[in-house]
């Protein structure tokens, strides 16, 4: 009797072990294999953008590391801090997160880390001007962000070993408006990410800028409680090649990056928007943001 009980207990332990191992086992996906297409929808379930092919996302991604600090001189004598993680191969895309200040940089790192886990790319962050006081006026803030972006991209494009390559710029809130203005005069920016960008800014022709980039690849998302949400719907209507979503319940563009599924969609969109993969990056074990959330 005791022997049968012992064997039954061992069998039960074996089953439990198999279930636990099966639950936590992870198979690294092939980053070049397309995932099923699905549209992103707005809060009222209207599809705002054409379906895009998504790329599998690993659960855990190697951190970027310290990177290389670049001190970029500005025309007025100040210095902009830029951090660069170079690509392995010449000609790989350049992806720049134009954070409004150093406090916003950590929100962009999961996007950059996950992208680098799937493909070779140089990635960089704008980390602000040390000691710069806050700017109260929105027009002045947007102009300042456009100035910083122009200086950073000029420095990054002439870095040693750099070759002409696709450029994507990522930004939120006022920095996203600055990206729209900058891209209007610079055709080399082939892909843009604008999270809650405003288009009604005094003394700035943001609508004209949007018209000029209407055929480029643009990922647009809006927090429906942000100041720019209503104007954002107009922005969506003017863009032809876009991935778009309106997210309920949030108040700023940078807050959108707290949503795991939105970050994953953004990485998949970037993967496709940057063109053919030149060199396959190793997929780190095992996936960030694997659980879908509603947004």
Mapping DSSP onto H, E and C, the string for 254-288 reads HHHHHCHHHHHHHHHHHHHHCCCCCCECCCCCCCC
For residue 282, is it within any domain? no
**Average pLDDT of each block of 10 consecutive residues along the chain (295 residues)?**
60 51 30 33 31 43 86 93 90 91 90 91 92 90 95 81 77 94 92 88 91 88 68 70 76 88 89 69 33 30
pLDDT of res. 241:
74
For residue 295, is it within any domain? no
How many domains does the structure of the chain reveal? 1
Q: State which residues form the domain around 123.
A: 29-273
What lies within 8 Å, CB to CB, of 172 at 6+ separation is: 100, 104, 107, 194, 195, 196, 252, 253, 254, 256, 257
For residue 17, is it within any domain? no
Which H or E element spans position 164?
none
Q: Pairing state of beta strands 79-85 and 122-129? A: antiparallel
What's the DSSP call for residue 52?
Answer: B
For residue 288, is it within any domain? no
For residue 293, is it within any domain? no
For residue 4, is it within any domain? no
What lies within 8 Å, CB to CB, of 60 at 6+ separation is: 284, 285, 286, 287, 288
What whole-number distance in Å separates Cα of residue 196 and Cα of residue 246? 9
CATH code at position 120: 3.40.50.1820
For residue 168, is it within any domain? yes
- Whole-prediction pTM: 0.73
pLDDT of res. 239:
78
For residue 283, is it within any domain? no
pLDDT of res. 157:
80
Angle at the Cα of 120 (from 119 to 124), degrees rounded to 5? 110
């Amino acid at each position: 009797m005791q022997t049968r009980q012992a064997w039954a207990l061992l069998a039960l332990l074996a089953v439990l072990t198999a279930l636990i191992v099966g639950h936590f086992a992870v198979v690294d996906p092939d980053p070049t294999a397309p995932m099923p297409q699905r549209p992103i929808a707005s809060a009222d379930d209207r599809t705002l953008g054409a379906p895009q092919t998504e790329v599998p996302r690993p659960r855990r991604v190697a951190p970027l590391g310290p990177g290389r600090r670049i001190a970029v001189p500005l025309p007025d004598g100040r210095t902009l801090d830029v951090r660069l993680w170079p690509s392995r191969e010449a000609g790989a895309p350049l992806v720049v997160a134009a954070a409004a200040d150093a406090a916003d940089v950590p929100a962009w790192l999961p996007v950059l880390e996950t992208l680098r886990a799937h493909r070779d790319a140089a990635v960089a962050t704008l980390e602000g001007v040390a000691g710069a006081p806050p700017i109260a006026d929105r027009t002045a803030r947007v102009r300042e962000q456009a100035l910083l972006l122009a200086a950073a991209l000029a420095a990054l494009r002439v870095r040693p070993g750099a070759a002409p390559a696709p450029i994507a710029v990522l930004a939120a809130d006022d920095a996203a408006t600055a990206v729209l203005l900058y891209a209007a005069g610079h055709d080399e920016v082939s892909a843009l990410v604008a999270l809650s960008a405003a288009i009604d800014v005094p003394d700035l022709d943001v609508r004209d800028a949007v018209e000029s980039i209407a055929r480029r690849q643009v990922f647009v998302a809006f927090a429906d409680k942000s100041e720019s949400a209503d104007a954002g719907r107009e922005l969506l209507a003017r863009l032809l090649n876009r991935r778009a979503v309106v997210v309920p319940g949030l108040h700023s563009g940078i807050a959108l990056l707290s949503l795991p599924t939105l970050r994953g969609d953004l990485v998949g969109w970037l993967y496709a928007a940057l063109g053919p993969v030149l060199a396959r990056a190793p997929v780190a074990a095992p996936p960030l943001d694997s659980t879908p959330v509603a947004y």
